[in-house]
Structure 1
């Protein structure tokens, strides 16, 4: 990583250390020997499934709502400082977050807000309000940096600083992390474990929680998987200078998410959703979230859980015999 990387400069990160060169980097993947491609696949893998035999209070399904309160950090990450781009993010703090919180209160639905530290520094009262109203705040990087492009030391510095900042602002130490890139660098897993996180919510290997495995070794880290299907940003994000345009009607997204919930309810599993206050918080989009919560609340046996609560229930399965969990690999 070069020193002109905006994420490192904004965070005041120390000198970068380049990773060791990969002797196969210049070799086409179809020429890789088996140990090379197998090593990449097995570096971070889904281990044992952690779906419990029953949910708390006999619930039929777990519903884990999450919101990534990125606000102004998306343009700031890339060194973009135009008022127009920053205003798009500011909408999330000025309008979207409050609307979301009011809706969650109406349905008595606790949620998890993953917040970049810079976003929390810009809007500390908002971060504290999340906790005050019974929600969870999780780590989402320092300035929504592209963590997969960082040197190991820089990535660890930023995550540690984000963890300390959120703890200072909210008075609660976050137990979970969602990486800004929804991905791991070669050093992310080691950093997450070293800093004591109990769960991650960045990977996509299952519908239900699972244990993360590193090179065949169970790590004890709970993964609460995400997916682009259950994220509002791919459907609604807009950039006037590129081909990035909203391509789905809100009502169509409602249908997709409702079908996802219905399937999770039938399976007795988890319905996890990722949204952003500056995206879902617009009037015509908040309507579909309200209708979705009407649909969800119309079912018996729904457990609304923060990601921390869900991870705690999943983590309890680590002490159970492996046979009681779903297998590592599905046929």
Structure 2
């Protein structure tokens, strides 16, 4: 049956499987006007491994994220005394355990990002559940901290993902795009108590540098417009970076310029995704 032949209950059920509920925009802590939540998807070699790829060149690109991208990112965050969130596939964490221990050791957050950057929508529910559980266990074993948040690889949720996240007792997800601000996730129109910290391809470095190939100055201009509007609205500015993309010498300055612009406002709250979710959940 083609979609245009679907009965109403079928397309309604499809739409309502995971839905945006109440917008969660409590006043920010300490009278701050805007929240800035920086995140880094530490994919490393898993972008190639997830599809069974064996390209030595693409694997080396992933390794660049560890060798040069992450040190530059960590140096900037330390320079400006900012805490951020790092979403890490379990295989990447297992390849570089010292890197992840250093991340948590400096007070940053580690979140779930799949086992090997697999696409959840392609997995049978039992396999997806197993991989999510094992991913959380692996990250906890390596870092000593149990993840409370999820970002699905490629922002790909299956019909089972939210149910599994609820079973695991996760505080938040950061994979969906129904708003600019945090909101409560609904499952089949029922409240879940799970906070969504929305992402957007507009606020992600990958599409610009892997697909459109626009210049760094243009990318910064887009990000700055997003930030300025978030600041004017008194809401949240969330960004997604990848160490093997933003970590180059000709691109890392984008991150520093954004940090400097936000710091210059004087009333911006830099927070991890966990901190944002904990604060937003007070409005549930």
TM-score w.r.t. the length of structure 2 is 0.99
Superposed counterparts of 1:241-320, under 5 Å: 245-318=211-284
Do the aligned residues in 2 keep the contact of 1:50 with 1:315 (CA within 8 Å)?
yes
- Write out the 4+ residue segments of structure 1 that deviate beyond 3 Å after TM superposition: none
Do the aligned residues in 2 keep the contact of 1:148 with 1:181 (CA within 8 Å)?
no
Q: For 1:181 and 1:271, locate their aligned partners in 2 and report how far apart those are by CA, in whole Å.
A: 20
Q: For 1:303 and 1:206, locate their aligned partners in 2 and report how far apart those are by CA, in whole Å.
A: 20
Deviation, structure 1 residue 183: 2.3
Partner of 2:118 in structure 1? Answer: 145
Deviation, structure 1 residue 109: 1.1
The structure that has the greater radius of gyration is 1
Do the aligned residues in 1 keep the contact of 2:119 with 2:156 (CA within 8 Å)?
no
Partner of 1:218 in structure 2? Answer: 191
Q: For 1:255 and 1:105, locate their aligned partners in 2 and report how far apart those are by CA, in whole Å.
A: 24
- 1:231-272 deviation per Cα after TM superposition (whole angstroms, max 9, x unaligned): 0001112xxxxxxx5521110000000000000100110000
Structure 1 residues not aligned, in runs of 5+: 1-26, 238-244, 319-331
Query: Does the alignment pair 1:77 with 2:50?
Result: yes
Superposed counterparts of 1:199-218, under 5 Å: 199-218=172-191
**Larger helix proportion of the pair:** 2
Q: For 1:248 and 1:193, locate their aligned partners in 2 and report how far apart those are by CA, in whole Å.
A: 39
Q: For 2:60 and 2:229, locate their aligned partners in 1 and report how far apart those are by CA, in whole Å.
A: 38
Structure 2 residues not aligned, in runs of 5+: none
Superposed counterparts of 1:145-184, under 5 Å: 145-184=118-157
TM-score w.r.t. the length of structure 1 is 0.85
Of the three residues 64, 70, 89, the one matched with 2:62 is 89
Of the three residues 12, 32, 35, the one matched with 2:6 is 32
RMSD value over aligned CA atoms? 0.8
Do the aligned residues in 2 keep the contact of 1:60 with 1:300 (CA within 8 Å)?
no
Do the aligned residues in 2 keep the contact of 1:147 with 1:181 (CA within 8 Å)?
no
Aligned length: 284
Of the three residues 34, 37, 54, the one matched with 1:61 is 34
